[in-house]
Every structure is written in C-alpha cells, then in structure tokens.
Amino acid sequence: MKILVATEKPFAKVATDGIKDIATKAGMEVVLLEKYTTKEELLAAVADVDAMIVRSDKVTPEVVAAAKNLKIVVRAGAGYDNLDLPSLTERKIVAMNTPGQNSNAVAELAIGMMIFMARAQFGGAGTEIAGKTLGIHAYGNVGRLVGLAGKALGMKVYAFDPFVADKSIFEKDGVTEVGSVKELYEKSQYLSLHIPATAETKGSIGYELAMSMPKGGTIVNTARKEVIDEAGLAKAMTEREDLKYATDVAPDAKEEYAEKFSKRYLGTPKKMGAETAEANINAGLAAANQIVGYLKEGNTKFQLNKF
C-alpha cells in the first residue's frame, strides 16, 4: 500500500523520517511530493496511492477524482477547510484531521504576538499584558491553551464557545464564560480568535465587534483569514486609531493593512502557527499512525465525514 505525503510546505525531515518509519513497520510505502508548484504534479502523484497526508494542501474534487485508489486522506493539522468533504464522502474516502497535535505551537504564537503588540512591536515603550482582559473566541484545543497561558501571565480571561459540551471546564480553568460574541468583544482588551472557518463564522468578525472593544483593543488571529470581514475591520481601525490587529493568516488586503495601519498591524510573513519542530513531528506522526490504524484495523476515531 502506498501513502502519499503531498506538502507544498514540507514537514521537517525528522517528521518525514518518522512517517516513513511508521509506514515501513506496517508494510507500507511512502511517496513524497514536496514543494510542488503545479496542480498537475499533485494530480499525477495521487493517481495510484491508497492514502494521503496533506498539510494546507488543497484536496479539491479534481484531486479526489484523480485518486483512483484513495481510501483515506489525513490533514496533518486541526483546520480541515482545505479538504473537499462532499467529493471524498461520495467516493467513501475517509477524511481525518489530527486535532490537538499542533495546538501548543499555535497557542505560544498567539501569546507571542500579543506581547509583541503590547510592546509596540519593540519600537518604543509599550504596556504589559498582566492585569488586562483576554477574550478567547472558541474554547477548543488552541483556545484553551491560550486561555490558560493568559491566566498564568496574570490576565483576566473570558471565553465564548457555545459548543463546549462540558461547561465545568471554564470553572476548572478559572475562565469566565460569557453568553454572546458581542459581550466577549466588549470585555476584551485582547481578543484571541480560534473559531474554525465555517458558513456561520466566515466574515463574522468585522466593524461592529471591533468597534465594541475597549480602548487599545487588539485582535490576534491565529485561526483563518476567512473569518474576518476585512473591509469592516479596516473601517473600524480607520475610525479608531487605538485598535490593533495581529494575524498569522494574511488578509487578502495585506498590503493595504500594512500601509494604512503601520505598527497597529502585524502579519507573519507566512502562516507560522504550526511551524515548530514539535508540531511538525506530532501532526505528521499522528497522521501516519491514523492511516495505519484505519487501513489495518478500521480505526475511524478522527473521521470527519460520515457515510
């Protein structure tokens, strides 16, 4: 059986070595397609493989159609908006992600960006984050770690996530749950975004929410660019010169943001959230183990699509 590792942005070598090791022990073969630049290369590479590991690579209906033997695709990471679930489901190809494997890396980046903004991007005297309010928008794997780190740094932490099943987690973590998105933004001097990009959340963070933040309000986005209404946020930042935006997921209008808002805007040069050796290894190895688990034992623990 063949496992394709298709990564425009490759894993660290230690991660691909680990993936190969897991595959070999299970009697499977790994095919690497790294730093590919054309769709055609991907279409050719998927033609005869049984399984596939991707990072942010797009698994489109065209890719699915070209993958005649594909049984499982695993997104090494949390967000899976790059997988076209309807076409995978139609072909009864299992789609999985590797939740939690890169959460710590992303949470550390969010805190780092928050401090960098508080310190005026190291361009002058800044402020401290201790004693400030921090809002966690979506209390999943990453959000929770950011919340706990914020608490450890002396922040007062609020969270909004209506889908958390076990509500006792908020009390256990010393985090105050609020009842609406609006209330969260009104309370938060720092707001850390961790919602997935869904039909409901896309374009949902814009003018009104930004305008409702306290003085100096800073939004930190390590989630997805699509959740931001870019024009609306820009309008709020133009009207209120105290608002700041730091993002790991570049806006479409990144040049405009950089030019207009100067030090009130921060964009990482590339999506850096999961770019640590540890996250690479964790997510890559988890993906390989999940493929072996499914192909050998039918384990569907992290399956995203149902059929």
Q: Does 140 bind ligand NAD (CB under 6 A)?
A: yes
- Binding test (CB under 6 A) with ligand NAD, winner from 18, 135, 143, 251: 143
Query: Which CB atom, from 92 or from 172, has the smaller least distance to ligand NAD?
Result: 172
- Binding test (CB under 6 A) with ligand NAD, winner from 46, 78, 96, 178: 78
Considering only residues 34 through 73, tell me which ones interact with ligand NAD, judged by CB under 6 A. Answer: none
Q: Does 126 bind ligand NAD (CB under 6 A)?
A: no
Minimum distance of ligand NAD from residue 180's CB (angstroms): 10
Query: What does each C-alpha distance from 259 to 244, 264, 266 come to in angstroms?
Result: 14, 10, 11
Look up residue 122 and give its DSSP letter. G
Crossing angle of helices 230-239 and 254-261, in 10° steps, is: 10
Residues near ligand NAD (CB under 6 A), total: 30
The one-letter amino acid code at 294 reads: Y
- CA geometry: angle at 6 spanning 19 and 23, to 5°? 25
What contacts 228, CB < 8 A, 6 or more positions away? 203, 205, 206, 221, 247, 251
Query: Which CB atom, from 140 or from 267, has the smaller least distance to ligand NAD?
Result: 140
Q: Which helix (H) or strand (E) holds 115?
A: helix 103-118
Q: Which residue is nearest to ligand NAD (CB)?
A: 140
Give the interface with ligand NAD as residue ranges (CB under 6 A): 77-79, 99, 102-103, 106, 138-143, 160-161, 163-164, 194-196, 200-201, 222-224, 248-249, 271, 273-274
